[in-house]
Each structure stands twice: as structure tokens, then as C-alpha cells.
Amino acid sequence: MKTHVIVFPGSNCDRDVAVAIQNIIGSSPEMVWHKDSTINQSDLIIVPGGFSYGDYLRCGAMASTSPIMKSVIENANKGVPVMGICNGFQILIESGLLQGALMRNSSLSFICRDIIIKPTNTKTIFTNKSTISKMPIAHNEGNYFANSNQIKEIEDNDQIAFQYCDENGDINAHSNPNGSINNIAGVFNKSKNVLGMMPHPERAAESIHGCDDGRNIFESLLS
Amino acid sequence: MTSSNWHFDTEKSLVESHGLKLDEFEKIVEGLGREPNLTELGIFSAMWNEHCSYKSSKYWLKKLPTSGERVIQGPGENAGIIDIDDGDVAVFKMESHNHPSFLEPYQGAATGVGGILRDVFTMGARPVANMNALRFGDPNHPKTKHLVSGVVGGIGGYGNCIGIPTVGGEVNFHPSYNGNILVNAMTVGIAKKDKIFYSAAAGIGNPVVYVGSKTGRDGIHGATMASAEFDDDSEEKKPTVQVGDPFTEKLLLEACLELMKEDAIIAIQDMGAAGLTSSSIEMASKGNVGIDINLSKVPMRASNMTAYELMLSESQERMLMVIQPKKEELARNIFKKWDLEFEVIGEVTDTKKLILHMDGEEQASIPINILVEDAPEYQRDYIFNDPSPLISFESKDFEDKDILSDLLKMISHPNLCSRKWIWEQYDHMVMADTVVRPGSDAAVVRVHGTNKGIAISTDCSPTYCRHNSYEGGKHAVVETWRNIVASGAEPIAITDCMNFGNPEKPEIMGQFVECIRGMGDACSKLNYPVISGNVSLYNETNGEGIYPTPAIGGVGLIRDLSNTMTIDLKNEGNVLCLIGESNNHLGNSHYLSIILNREDGGTPLINLDDELKNGKFILDCIDKKLLKSVHDVGEGGVLVAIAEMCISGKQGIKIDITKDFLHGFFFGEDQARYLVEVSQNKLEQLEVDASKSAVKIERIGEIGGTSISINSIGEVELSSLIDHHTKWFNEF
């Protein structure tokens, strides 16, 4: 499986996700510098977490205009799986590949802790092995928002990927860490080959992390 | 020699406004054989202030043990280095950013983190963990809330963005910090033993290269500001605080590490306190060479900057390097790729002078040795304060005190409650090598790509230091040592951050001298040398000094990560045992201060033989896989430690003990003690081994249930413990 990880100035989870891919998928990804302009022949493109361009303008806004994003969008439109994690999710939204917006956490502070998510649609390439999973979040702007028309659209089209829930899988206000509308933790594009999610599966990918539930996303992609 | 148009009529006030004494100024004139011009005066001011010259502390710091079989680099470089086997080294240092953090908490703390990170990656190490040690004033003081939020925000803002996990630290509140908070930041990095970079310039004619951000007018005189006391007008010093840009630092980190893979760098030094001045002089002094700089070439953020401003600016995210001339293009391309400034601004010379030019005119010419070797050094007068007398408490002193309700009061107090609110604002998992997260005795991070780990702990008990500076100094070292042992690691070395008041006061100097003596004795006994550090003096406002605070950052090695220990209780049915002697020492304990509002009774005395014996016993037991969890008994005593283990593991315990003086046993702060969890089938072996090693062991109780219950006293539910433990910061 040929994988690519995009590296922007300020990306800081690029190595972490590369290690997870190596461990789980079994081959190391090609690291692609944001100033490059083409990705040929990919089975999976990952836009990793971090603080691209320092998150200075609006998270993901500057990265979405980097030269490489044109190729990422082309690949996505051709059906190549593209996955954005955390800042990568923000970049995919800014680039128009995913719907909605990610606002500042309702607590107005950065949150780094384990949360639990429930896959809403398990019939996709990313989630066919997903169950209720524990993994960390680490973000300042993960408060997902979409207006009521958009929410209806993504719900009707099964585009919600994950929702924050409690240990029993109940989706409630108590299990919502950042104020996301309908507890949304991740969404797909219409054709389900693009996934954006705030939680970090690469940080819950081996026993030393205290939990390896994040593996199931990568394992889904393998099957 | 061109000199700015200034006259020595104003000499006295000008010299004083540069933080120099008149006799120091005379020394400058004598050394130069003439009066300095304004730029030169600024350079001397930057080099001879307390922060950069260690003029009051140097004599005493030399008394600390700094060598050991694992020490590769002791104090004197950007950071210290220890050998962690297999060709790997750990590079670490702790540094203060106290004065700026009080003036502007977010930027002060953020740039503190940025500065210590640069110290570590300058040496060729990739930073892998940030830690901190923070002291704030009375929780009810009107400024405290603003300062706590700002500092925590700043530390997180910088560390999260650059992508280095902040894995732990410590926080204390005490009124002695009302006017001077302490922000001490520590970074640990990992490098290869054969890829370490130092700061000694070499090779006459080699280019001196400036990389990183442009130079602006921020932070001018920052180091001088940090070498003076505060008064009511300190707010006016805000412009001396630098502004951090973690994004640029991330680029600088990656660019430097990329260049370090090539054989291009001869010397590298970060521009921290006193910016271009101290970095260029340090490189020249270490290499016993001279440096010429053409200041017109320095990348500038503002227009019309003068030589004086360029030399004294503390703009962040900058580095100075001497590189192989043949590799200049290669180096330039790497920095270009990362969109960073790269400019050859000078060259290495054989003059042993710092010579500055700007717009074709000479701006300064100073022999390096006058700046460095001839820098003032003082043996300040000191007097020892008598240690507070030891008070022996008895059971009858506490007859009306209910142990379980006192426990709830203690674990909800700002000094003992959960710090989750803080560490959840720090990304403590980025890099995906965090093995033990914040909240245990020591943080543990894996050495990337291996099965070994580094354990890190920061600690200090200022109240102990205030009431007995010698024992307090010992305690700070020993507490980190114990925390590292409790995590399953072999303690290796420390870094220190010596935060004190005005050294010109003999009683403050006495605290410093005694803390150093205590630290030195502990380090020697435990074979736990000091490999780097920093001194922050003049932490005073309107003549009121802080409590003596020698914050220690300890580092240890776990050879096999399966031996990692945490504090959370693991399994129902296991037994909790106490290791070490308990003598009901309640003097200067948290119990006395929180419950009885008393600060007396004396600092506990530390028996270093016991520390060594008990610590080694714990490590042996971990090696033999006898233990399930380990927790050092520290602040608050045995019962607070038990509560922390229960809360962390979401397990209850049935305590079954018989003692004449329960308050003394549960809340006494005797040293050299650990709580350990052992399964029933290993209990006997543990007890036999303890007796063979002449280590005291007592059974405390059996793990299980949903409460802490104490025979003959009653019980308190786990849910209530958790509520009390987390409530203070949650309501913050």
C-alpha cells in the first residue's frame, strides 16, 4: 500500500503518523514537502496534525493554499483516500474537501486528554473495523460547526464519521469535550473517500500509549 | 573610534541605568584603557549583569559535584549531557524566566520555553520533553489568577505549537511569591553521542552566520531587567519582555537539525539572554579567538536600528553559527527551504577581540578576556539563619481533629489538589513517545525507536528551604531522586534553577550558601551530579524576597520500559505496604499549614544513607517484578499519598493499622519513604527481601472497594475524594 504524508511548515504529528503507518500498514510512507506540486499513484494521503503556519491566520487557512494541496484535491476527486487528522482536518475543511467549520473549543482553552468516539457509519474504507474507541485529542480549535441545512445534508448522506460519546457509547453533552455540534468528532466527504477527524489515532496505536484503539482506522484501510 | 555623542557629565546615571556599579565601570575603563562608548557600555552591561555573569553565585556553584561516569558535559555549555547507553545521550537544562513572566505572564512563560528549547537543540539534540516548576503567590491574591492563566497559557501555547510534549512539572502557591512568581522551564533532548555540537568558535577566517528571525527592538535590556528587584513602577518594564514565535522556532529547530546532519557546523550558540552580544562573545571566548561582525548585515525587523540596539535586542528564535566555508551554500539552501533568514555577518579572527562595524565605521572594539575572564566576581557576605526549631507533636495535640475530613480539606487545597486543569492545556502526548503522563511521580518518555525511557521529575519545597536551608537543599535533590526511583528508573543527574532574593543581603546569601551545601551533600551521596543550571537572583519586590527556591530537575534512565512504574493502584486484593521509617514528623508539614494554619515545627531531617538504601531496595524490587505500583511519600504524608494512588487507579482500600499517634503517622512528612502495591503471592518475598536489606516495611491495607476505609475511624467514598481533588482548579 503506497501512502503519502504531507509535511507543512509547522506540522508536528507527521512523524507520529508515519510511525503508526509503518507499524500497522507495514511500509513507510513517503513524506511530501508542501512546496512539491504532485503526488502520483497514492493509496492513501494523510494530512497530519500540528500547527501549520503557526495557526496564525486561521487554523489550516494558509496551508490549504500550499502548492501540494492542488494535487491532494485532484487525488481526492479521483477517489484516492485522504485523511486529515486534527490540524489536517482543519486544512481539509479550509481547502473545501470537507464541509463545516472548526471553531475555538467552548472552554476557550487547549484540551489534551483521552476521549471516546463512536463510529457513526461503519461502511466506509476508514471505519469498517471501527468500534467504540478511546484515543487522545489535543487541540484548541476542534469545535465542529455546520449550519442546520449542512447538518441535515451530511446526516442524510451518512457523512458523520465519529461522535464523542461516553464509555457506554451514549452520545451526550457530558462526553462532548469541545462544544462540537451533535458531538461530531469527524466527518466524511460525500463519496466517503475523504475523512477529517480531530482525535489522534496515531497516538493510540501501540500498547505503550496506554491504549491502541486508534489502530482500527488504519486496519480498516488495509482490508 | 567613533563614539555616540554623549558626555560623561551624565556618566553616573547612565552607568547606573545599565545596572552597573561605579566601581565596575572603573574596571571597564581600566581594562579598555579608555572610556567605553555607548554601544560598548551596553555590551558590558549585558555581560556583567547577574543573569549572564553569575557574579554572586559562581564561587559557590563551583562547590557542587558535576562529574560522574555518565556525565559527558557538565555546567558551562548551553546544556548538560549524560550518556544513556547505545550511543545515545540525553541533553537537558532548566532555566528561569521569572521576571518577564511576572510582567507579562503569557509571553514571559512562552519565551522561557522557547529559550530552553533552543539551549537543547543548539547542542544537536531533538527536544523530546518539556517540564516546568512554577510558584505563584497566595491563591487569593488579586494577581494570582491572571498570572496562573497567563503562564499556563504561555507554556502550552509555545510547547504545543512547536510540537514538543510538556510532560509534567510542579506548581506551588505561597504568599512569598505575591510580588515575584517563578517560572522555571526545563527541556530534555536526545542526541547521538558522536553528533553533539558545542559553542567554541574555531578556524580563523571562517564565516559567522546569523540564522532564524529578524532582529527587532524587543527585549532590549531583558537580562539587565532580570538582574534587578521590582518596585511599584515595575509595570513600566513591560517592553523589556520578548515576544515568542513558536512557529518560527519549529522551523529553526528543523532547519538546524537538518544542517547538523551535514558536516557543516563548527560552532553554534543560541541568542538568548543578551542576544547577539552574549552569543558572539561566548563563542569567541570558548574558542579563544576574536570575532568581527558587520552589524549592517544583521537582518532587521525595524528600520534605523543602531549598533546599541542590535547588540542588546533579545528578539527570539535566532542562532549564531560558525560554519565550514565550503558548506555555506548548502547551509543557505536549507535555511531558505525553511523560509528563515541566513546571513553571513562576520568572521572568526585571531585578534581575541569583539570588533563591530556598522555602515563602514567601527562601533566597538573590546578584548574578549576583559568581558569574560575579568568579569566581576563577588564573594558576598552571608549570615546563616538559624533553622526553625524542631517541635515534637503528640497525639493529644490533635484530639479534636477528624482524620478523614482533614484529608478532604488537604487534597482540595491548591497546593495538593489535582493539576489536571493545567496539564490538559499542555499537549503531553505529541511525538507519541509519552509513556507516563503527568500526574505520576515522574514523567516517562520513550527514547524514540527503542525500548528504553527517560524519567524526569522537577521538585522543590521552598517552605523546607526557608526553615532550614541546608536540609531544604538536600530535600529538593532527594525528592526528585525518589520520584525517579518510584518510576522505575535509575537516577542519573540533575539540572538546577536557583531562585533567590537579593544576594547583596547577607541573610539571602546565607540561604543560597546553605542550600548549595545541602544540594551538594545529597548529590555526592546519591551519585547524582549537577550537569547544568541557572541562577535567578533579585527575586524581590519592595525589599521583600521570595522563599529560597532551588528548583531541581532530575533525569533517570529506564533500560527496559516494562519496568516502568506508576502511582495508580492496579488490582483488587493486592496489598499496599509502606517502605521506610515513620517518626511522626509534622513540623512544617502541609497538615500544619493547611489544617492548623501554622508554619513552624522545623524541616524534616534527611538521612541520606536511608534514602540510598530504601531507593536501591525499591529499584531491586522493581527489577524482580515484585511491585505493581509505587508512589513516593512526599507532600502531605502517607494518607495523602494513599488517596492519590486510589484516585489515580480508581480503587478503594481498606487500611488496617494500629498506631498510638494516627495524625502523626498519616500526615507526618518523614523522608525516604515509598508506598508500594504488591500482589498477595509476592508479599512474603517482599517482606523477606526488606528484612534482608534492613529496610523497614509495614502492611497498610488491602486494595478494593469504592472507598478509603480506616479501621476504627470510618470511611470516605472514592467519588468524594475525586470531587475534592479536582474542584479547586475546575472552579478556577
Give Cα B640 to chain centroid, integer Å: 25
- pTM, rounded to two decimals: 0.96
Cβ contacts of B427 on chain A, cutoff 8 Å: 110, 112, 138
Phi, psi torsion values for B369, nearest 5 degrees? -65, -30
Measure the CA–CA gap between A156 and A150, rounded to whole angstroms. Answer: 10
Residues found in chain B:
732
Over residues B140-180, the pLDDT tens digits come to: 999 999 999 999 999 999 999 999 999 999 999 999 999 99
Please determine, for residue A43, whether its predicted confidence score (pLDDT) is greater than 70. Answer: yes
Over residues A123-139, the pLDDT tens digits come to: 999 999 999 999 999 99
Cβ contacts of B434 on chain A, cutoff 8 Å: 209
Of all residues in chain A, the one with the smallest CA distance to B424 is A112
Over residues B334-353, the pLDDT tens digits come to: 999 999 999 999 999 999 99
Q: Do A112 and B424 touch (CB under 8 A)?
A: yes
User: Min CA distance, A96 vs chain B (Å)?
Assistant: 24
Cβ contacts of B245 on chain A, cutoff 8 Å: 54
pLDDT grade for B238, boundaries at 50, 70 and 90? low
Question: Which grid coordinates are listed for B352?
Answer: 581575541
On whether any CB of chain A is under 8 Å from the CB of B527, the answer is no
pLDDT grade for B243, boundaries at 50, 70 and 90? confident
Provide mean pLDDT across the span A24-30: 95
Please give the share of chain B, as a percent, with pLDDT higher than 90.
90
Question: Which grid coordinates are listed for A83?
Answer: 485523511
Q: Do A138 and B446 touch (CB under 8 A)?
A: no
Q: Do B160 and A20 touch (CB under 8 A)?
A: no
Measure the CA–CA gap between B72 and B286, rounded to whole angstroms. Answer: 17
pLDDT of B286 reads: 96
Over residues B84-124, the pLDDT tens digits come to: 999 999 999 999 999 999 999 999 999 999 999 999 999 99
pLDDT of B138 reads: 97
Please determine, for residue B7, whether its predicted confidence score (pLDDT) is greater than 60. Answer: no
Provide mean pLDDT across the span B413-419: 97
Of all residues in chain A, the one with the smallest CA distance to B426 is A112
Helix ranges, B650-703 (H) = 662-667, 680-692
Question: Which grid coordinates are listed for A185?
Answer: 468528532
Q: From chain A, which residues contact B within 8 Å (Cβ)?
A: 9-10, 12-13, 15-16, 19-20, 49-51, 53-56, 109-113, 136, 138, 140, 200, 202-203, 205, 208-210
Q: Do A109 and B153 touch (CB under 8 A)?
A: yes
User: Min CA distance, B648 vs chain A (Å)?
Assistant: 14
Please determine, for residue A199, whether its predicted confidence score (pLDDT) is greater than 70. Answer: yes
pLDDT of B5 reads: 43
Cβ contacts of A136 on chain B, cutoff 8 Å: 429
pLDDT grade for B2, boundaries at 50, 70 and 90? very low
pLDDT of B223 reads: 67
Q: Do A51 and B160 touch (CB under 8 A)?
A: yes
User: Min CA distance, A138 vs chain B (Å)?
Assistant: 6
Question: Which grid coordinates are listed for B427?
Answer: 499537549
Contact B457, B378 (CB under 8 A): no
Measure the CA–CA gap between A169 and A163, rounded to whole angstroms. Answer: 9
Other beta carbons less than 10 A from residue A70's beta carbon = 13
Q: Do A113 and B338 touch (CB under 8 A)?
A: no
Cβ contacts of A32 on chain B, cutoff 8 Å: none
pLDDT of B12 reads: 81
Question: Which grid coordinates are listed for B527?
Answer: 551519585
Please determine, for residue A150, whether its predicted confidence score (pLDDT) is greater than 60. Answer: yes
Over residues B271-312, the pLDDT tens digits come to: 988 899 999 999 999 999 999 999 999 999 999 999 999 999
Query: From start to end of B337-487, where are the E strands?
Result: 341-349, 353-358, 361-367, 434-436, 443-446, 453-459
Provide mean pLDDT across the span B648-668: 96
In SS3 terms, B261-283 reads as: CCCCEEEEEECCCCHHHHHHHHH
Residue pointed to by grid coordinates 490549504: A64
The CA–CA distances, whole Å, from A64 to A53, A57, A98, B71, B400 equal 10, 12, 12, 47, 67
Rounded to the nearest 10°, the torsion over CA B114, B117, B123, B127 is: -150
The closest CB to that of B430, out of A13, A113, A210, belongs to: A13
Q: Do B250 and A56 touch (CB under 8 A)?
A: no
Please determine, for residue B568, whether its predicted confidence score (pLDDT) is greater than 70. Answer: yes
Instruction: Give, to the nearest 10 degrees, the angle between helix B403-411 and helix B638-649.
Output: 70
Question: Which grid coordinates are listed for B65?
Answer: 559535584
Give Cα B378 to chain centroid, integer Å: 25
Cβ contacts of A112 on chain B, cutoff 8 Å: 160, 423-429
User: Min CA distance, A124 vs chain B (Å)?
Assistant: 27
Q: What are the catalytic residues of A?
A: 86, 200, 202
Residues 6+ apart with CB under 8 A from B571: B628, B651, B677, B679, B703
Of the candidate ranges B12-21, B54-63, B426-435, the one whose mean pLDDT is the lowest: B12-21
pLDDT of B96 reads: 95
Contact A7, A32 (CB under 8 A): yes
Of all residues in chain A, the one with the smallest CA distance to B562 is A208
Measure the CA–CA gap between B721 and B725, rounded to whole angstroms. Answer: 6
ipTM above 0.95, yes or no: yes
Give Cα A66 to chain centroid, integer Å: 19
Please determine, for residue B6, whether its predicted confidence score (pLDDT) is greater than 70. Answer: no
pLDDT of B19 reads: 87
User: Min CA distance, A146 vs chain B (Å)?
Assistant: 26
Superfamily of domain A3-222: Class I glutamine amidotransferase (GATase) domain (3.40.50.880)
On whether any CB of chain A is under 8 Å from the CB of B423, the answer is yes
Of all residues in chain A, the one with the smallest CA distance to B246 is A54
Of all residues in chain A, the one with the smallest CA distance to B428 is A112
The closest CB to that of B251, out of A9, A20, A110, belongs to: A9
User: Min CA distance, A144 vs chain B (Å)?
Assistant: 19
pLDDT of B264 reads: 96
Q: How many beta-carbon pairs below 8 A join chains A and B?
A: 81
The CA–CA distances, whole Å, from B584 to B591, B615, B667 equal 12, 21, 8
Mean pLDDT taken over chain B: 95
SS3 B676: strand
Instruction: Give, to the nearest 10 degrees, the angle between helix B105-121 and helix B144-162.
Output: 40
In SS3 terms, B380-403 reads as: CCCCCCCCCCCCCCCHHHHCCCCH
- The 8-class DSSP code of residue B464 comes to H
Of all residues in chain A, the one with the smallest CA distance to B450 is A208
The closest CB to that of A112, out of B153, B246, B426, belongs to: B426
Measure the CA–CA gap between A11 and B4, rounded to whole angstroms. Answer: 46
Which sign does the torsion angle of CA A38, A44, A50, A56 carry?
Answer: positive
Of all residues in chain B, the one with the smallest CA distance to A177 is B424
Measure the CA–CA gap between B74 and B472, rounded to whole angstroms. Answer: 23
The closest CB to that of A12, out of B157, B250, B423, belongs to: B250
Q: What are the catalytic residues of B?
A: 51, 97
Provide mean pLDDT across the span B580-596: 97
Question: Which grid coordinates are listed for A80?
Answer: 484516492
- The 8-class DSSP code of residue A190 comes to T
